[in-house]
Amino acid sequence: MRSSKCSIKSRLALDNARTARVPHTTSFLVQDADLHEFPAEAFDVVWTMESSEHFANKPRYFANVSRTLRPEGQLLLAAWTGSMDRPRIRAVSRAFLCPELWTLEQYQSAIRAAGMQVKHCQDLTSKIIRTWEICQERASLARPIVTLLPRAAREFVEGIAIILDAYRSGELTYTVLTAEKIS
């Protein structure tokens, strides 16, 4: 089953590349983020967009990122950040199937330990709350249909109120940071 999911994702990426008329200048690989086996110093940039929350072993992931970045290569990370000591953060973690959410400080520490230097951090929470409000509005309008969806989809919709509450409370933040591999 895992390989079929990977082939579907690869096929979608290739279809999009053809549509964009760039199939000969792009390539796509699907691998487990915790265990990826890309070659050493293969990339100038690694972009981790709202996915690290789901990684089981974040320190190993950042070590792999550092290994695969060329000297002075860049990491761009966008992540939900908050302390698992807080009930709202634990609720977000449960609702969105995250093994553990991290604070900005935990991310910075793991990134430094992996041989990278954090260059810039920004809290963009105020800019993304509206996105979740729109999701909540649309889910509310679709409530009769939502009840017919598979359990996982219904639970995701129920999680929208949980994540909005956490963002509005200030306990959950949306952090974007950049880091550079130390050469």
List the beta strands (DSSP E) in the chain: 43-49, 69-81, 116-123, 173-181
pLDDT of residue 35: 80
Q: Are strands 43-49 and 69-81 parallel, antiparallel or unpaired?
A: parallel
> What one-letter code names the amino acid at 170?
G
3-state secondary structure of 50: coil
pLDDT of residue 78: 98
* pLDDT tens sequence for the chain (183 residues): 344 555 776 788 888 899 999 988 888 777 788 787 888 999 999 999 999 999 999 999 999 999 999 999 999 999 999 999 999 999 999 999 999 999 999 999 999 999 999 999 999 999 999 999 999 999 999 988 988 989 888 888 999 999 999 999 999 999 999 999 998
- Of 63, 37, 61, nearest to 48 by C-alpha is 61
Burial label, 114 (beta-carbon count in 10 A; 0-12, 13-18, 19+): buried
The domain covering 31-126+172-181 belongs, at the CATH homologous superfamily level, to: Vaccinia Virus protein VP39 (3.40.50.150)
Length of the chain: 183
Whole-angstrom distance, CA of residue 107 vs CA of residue 65: 13
Whole-angstrom distance, CA of residue 118 vs CA of residue 77: 10
- Residue 143 makes CB contacts below 8 A (sequence gap 6+) with none
With residue 14 as reference, give the H or E element that holds it: helix 2-19
